[in-house]
Amino acid sequence: MLFDYKAKTEYGKTVKGSIDAPNEEMAIDSLTEQGLILLSLVERKKQISLKKQISFSLGVKEKDLVLFYRQMSVMISSGVSIVEALETMIEQTSNPKLKSIISEIVDDVRGGTSLSAAMAKHRIFSNFCLNMIRSGETTGRIDEVFKYLADEEEKNYDLISKIKGAMVYPTFVLVAAGGVITLLMTFVFPKLAAVLKEYGAELPLTTRIVMAISNFMVNWWILIILVLIGLYFLIRYGLKTKIGTFIWDIVKLKLPVFNNLFKNIYLVRFCRSLSTLIVAGVPLVSALEISSNVVGNVVYKKLIAKTIKAVEEGKTISSVFAESKLIPKMLTNIIAIGEKTGKLDEVLDKMANFYARIVEDTLGKLTVLIEPIVIILLGGVVALVFASVLLPMYNMASTIR
């Protein structure tokens, strides 16, 4: 969440700015740590500009952050101060966007700002990361926190890479086949159709249908392109709205074949983030709140919000999960054991690894399953187009004989 604030410095100067924090309470704590006397704090409702969105999304990649966390962990555990470690990172970082951000963080830390507060000014660092850093500053285990962050971000990066990798081949086949079909329908088929018309051959229903589609594509190709572009941006915009996000998140949980994959991905994110935050010493309610944002699904976020209320009332996580169909009974039972034994972080870490393996196995099976299905479907479309041409030609040849 992004907040706009107005505050006074210890010298009485009025300053304005913005801060990124999971909630209002943490925003106030962060500003107080900077020595500011808060005058007003308002959540920003407006979305950031398109230019900033592009710069944030394209400037720093996940692997850049993994390397940053890993190197910071090594240097701090070796006795290097935070400022010196950050200065070294400026020299070693090849990404210009990240280099600029680290330079600003160094300046803030030198000026007396805490590392977490300095990092909170930059949107490339997630709420999960910022709260981990704050916990490290409180407990004095900042080197361990950076190691945890590097490990967790690396696991998330590997998971996302595997998901993307599994979709490369089907996507390539779809694009290539789509291009071939488009060429057939716009260049090859119209010429063959003209020959059939010239000889007055009787056209079967399938040929007439394909011919109508071909004529539409030839005559209205500009309209088709504009509609496709419009649909792309409409869907993209719709997915950024609350209603669009909610609908899409529900659809993902209802999709045949893919729904279990998505559910397991969300469980991996939840178990891994909550385990890491508990190990770092973050209070359970705050850890649940941060984990709800890490999961990446509105439906699960609502369930976790319900869990937070229950925990605040003195109930257990497992008692809420037991009532939901979104959470497997096995996970609920193991969480209950973890809560009773005081080893919730350990059981969550084991379950995160368990569901991560299931995701990997599912991706492997889906890849094997999708490839022949895509090829068969596209082969059927191409066969239909050729049959629409060859069948009337065969009939015409039979008539001539």
How far apart are the C-alpha atoms of 297 and 252, rounded to whole Å? 9
- pLDDT, residue 52, reads 38
Bridge partners of residue 41, in order along the sequence: 5
- State the number of CA atoms in the 13 A half-sphere of 196 facing the CB: 22
- pLDDT, residue 91, reads 87
Bridge partners of residue 14, in order along the sequence: 8
Taken as a whole, the chain contains a residue count of 401
Per-residue pLDDT tens for 347-388?
A: 998 998 899 889 888 887 877 777 777 778 777 877 777 777
Domains of the chain: 1-46 (3.10.20), 60-127 (no CATH), 152-401 (1.20.81.30)
How far apart are the C-alpha atoms of 343 and 341, rounded to whole Å? 5
- pLDDT, residue 226, reads 94
- pLDDT, residue 227, reads 92
- pLDDT, residue 348, reads 93
- pLDDT, residue 215, reads 85
Bridge partners of residue 37, in order along the sequence: 8
> Which residue in this structure is represented by tokens 């976020």?
301
Reference 206, options 378, 382, 387, 376; nearest CA is 387
How far apart are the C-alpha atoms of 53 and 50, rounded to whole Å? 5
- pLDDT, residue 172, reads 81
Joined tokens for residue 342:
């005081």
> Which residue in this structure is represented by tokens 């080893």?
343
> Which residue in this structure is represented by tokens 């040929």?
207
- pLDDT, residue 311, reads 92
Joined tokens for residue 389:
């041409």
> Which residues of the chain are modeled with pLDDT < 70?
1, 10-12, 20-23, 44-59, 199-202, 395-401
How far apart are the C-alpha atoms of 18 and 31, rounded to whole Å? 10
- 331 close to 337: Cβ distance less than 8 angstroms: no
Give the chain's mean pLDDT.
81
CA angle 152-153-159, nearest 5°?
90
Bridge partners of residue 38, in order along the sequence: 7
- pLDDT, residue 47, reads 40
List CB contacts of 327: < 8 A, sequence separation 6 or more. 267, 303, 321
Per-residue pLDDT tens for 209-222?
A: 878 888 888 888 89
How far apart are the C-alpha atoms of 309 and 293, rounded to whole Å? 16
